[in-house]
Amino acid sequence: MNNNIKKSIISLDVMPRDVYDKFTKFGNLANMTPDEIWSHYPKTGTGTFNPNTMVKETSIIEPYLMVHYLKQKGIETRFWYNNALFTFNEKLFRIAAGKVIEVDITNLYFISFRESFAHPFYKILEIVLEKNGGKLVKPNMLTMANTGCMNKLYALAELYHRREELFGDVIIPFNITARDYPALIEFMKENMGDKVVFKIDCVQEGQGVIFKDLSKENQLESIAKILNAHKVKGKEVFITAAVEILNEYRCYFTNHGRTKTVFSIKQRVNSDEINVYERDNIHIYKNISVKWLEVKTDSKVFSDASKIAKSIMKDMSYDTGCLEFAHTKDGKIVFFEVNQMAGPLPFDGEDTTNMTRYYHSMFDKMMN
């Protein structure tokens, strides 16, 4: 951490207005410890939620965890929401009440969590801040160039040399037009089998995963709707053969050079009550029920899953996030995605402490 920096701005500009209004009502969390902050977020498996004292939005909890972290470092913090900003030469300006105001950016951390900083404004702001002894910080700074926090194709590119091991057969369409769809579908059937999965890049979990059974009649129309968007930024598509999952894991990690640490692992058990091939998309909690199991850190499952996660992490440039993979029924390991900022899903007790350690390790990387 830069010892000269004593002030910071936490940007909340991507927060929906209703979430921001709720955020402001929980301002008392800024004076609480991590354990007290977590007490206002529902613990996985407890089923306890009081809407008067708790929030379900991770994006509300994370900034307050950061405030506590920065206080320990002696850094003053303020929040920004919906600010009109521009840079001019080596300066930052804000427009408020019809007036242009210069922002003092000397020795300043400008912090964000979930937006990608992909806008060219932030590329310049990063340069300007560094010239003034400050820093632009967020988890996974590479996502300034890599759009979104759940970019599957970015991870796919980094792991592609292990394609046979971690993905199996993969089709990535580009410039495929409607007249080409029948030939593409026939190729899928011949090379992947009838059951395939379309994965739409940078789309919220569940909504970007679409199962198709190509043996069924009249599939062209629904598949065309997916493929029609494959050249749109953030909705790129790749296609894989479907697998039968035995166990699925979410591993919360930081990856600081040679130090690769897995802090918490959740095991996901999907409902088999619905036929996924009968849905246009699968959205967990809405049309498919999910059960989360806590994987204890002293268990063999945690040890084995951590080894797999670390073996995948060594080939990725992500410095922090949530790595998702599965064991299949035929004994293979299949990579799904890495999320820059996945919802933490804390279990009460030990796991809440582990999630705090995860965030503090993330903050250490962001500030250094």
Name the residue ranges covered by the structural domains of the chain. 7-138, 144-167+243-368, 169-242
Label residue 148 by pLDDT band (50, 70, 90): low
Q: What is the mean pLDDT of residues 135-153?
A: 81
Q: What is the pLDDT of residue 169?
A: 93
Backbone phi, psi, residue 11, to 5°: -85, 130
Q: Output the average pLDDT for the chain.
A: 89
Tens of pLDDT, residue by residue over 167-190, are: 999 998 888 888 889 999 999 999
Q: What is the mean pLDDT of residues 269-287?
A: 69
Q: What crossing angle do the helices spanning 58-72 and 350-367 adopt, rounded to 10°?
A: 70
What contacts 24+ positions apart, CB below 8 Å, involve 44-53?
A: 44/266, 44/292, 44/294, 44/345, 44/346, 44/347, 44/351, 45/292, 45/294, 45/347, 45/348, 46/348
Q: What is the mean pLDDT of residues 215-230?
A: 83
Q: What is the pLDDT of residue 207?
A: 66
Q: What is the pLDDT of residue 283?
A: 63
Structure tokens at 315: 């080939």
Residue 277 pLDDT > 80 = no
**CATH code of domain 169-242:** 3.30.1490
Distance between CA atoms of residues 144 and 135, nearest Å: 14
Q: What is the pLDDT of residue 204?
A: 63
Q: What is the pLDDT of residue 220?
A: 86
Q: What is the mean pLDDT of residues 154-171?
A: 92
Which CATH number applies to 144-167+243-368: 3.30.750.24, 3.30.470.20, 3.40.50.970, 3.40.50.300?
3.30.470.20
Range with the poorest average pLDDT among 95-109, 209-223, 252-266, 281-295:
281-295
In 10 A of CB 246, how many CB atoms?
A: 12
H or E segment and range at residue 49: none
Instruction: Give me the count of residues in the chain.
Output: 368
What is the DSSP-derived secondary structure letter of residue 292? Answer: E
Tens of pLDDT, residue by residue over 5-57, are: 999 999 998 899 999 999 999 999 999 999 999 999 999 888 789 999 999 99
Label residue 1 by pLDDT band (50, 70, 90): confident
Q: What is the pLDDT of residue 286?
A: 65
Residues 6+ apart with CB under 8 A from 305: 249, 251, 262, 265, 295
Distances (CA, A) of 192 to 65, 160, 164: 45, 18, 13
Whose CA is closest to 195, among 218, 211, 178? 211
Q: What is the pLDDT of residue 147?
A: 65
Choose the most confident range, by mean pLDDT, from 146-160, 230-244, 342-356: 342-356
Q: Give me the DSSP letters along 156-218.
A: HHHTGGGHHHHT-SEE---S--GGGHHHHHHHHHHHH-SEEEEEETT--TTTTEEEEETTSSS
Q: What is the mean pLDDT of residues 136-141?
A: 90
H or E segment and range at residue 227: helix 220-227
- pLDDT above 90 covers a percentage of the chain that reads 63
Range with the poorest average pLDDT among 206-210, 214-218, 225-229, 293-297:
206-210
Distance between CA atoms of residues 249 and 59, nearest Å: 22
Residue 151 pLDDT > 80 = no
Q: What is the mean pLDDT of residues 327-347?
A: 91
**How far separated are the first and last CA of the chain, in Å rounded?**
4
| 8 Å CB contact between 110 and 99 | no
Range with the poorest average pLDDT among 3-17, 62-76, 109-123:
109-123
In 10 A of CB 36, how many CB atoms?
A: 13
Residue 134 pLDDT > 80 = yes
Place of tokens 């599965």: 326
* Dihedral (CA of 43, 49, 51, 53) sign: negative
Q: What is the pLDDT of residue 287?
A: 67
Q: What is the pLDDT of residue 67?
A: 97
Residues 6+ apart with CB under 8 A from 316: 155, 158, 159, 255, 338
Q: What is the pLDDT of residue 282?
A: 65
Question: Model pTM greater than 0.75?
Answer: yes
Tens of pLDDT, residue by residue over 233-253, are: 767 888 999 998 889 999 999
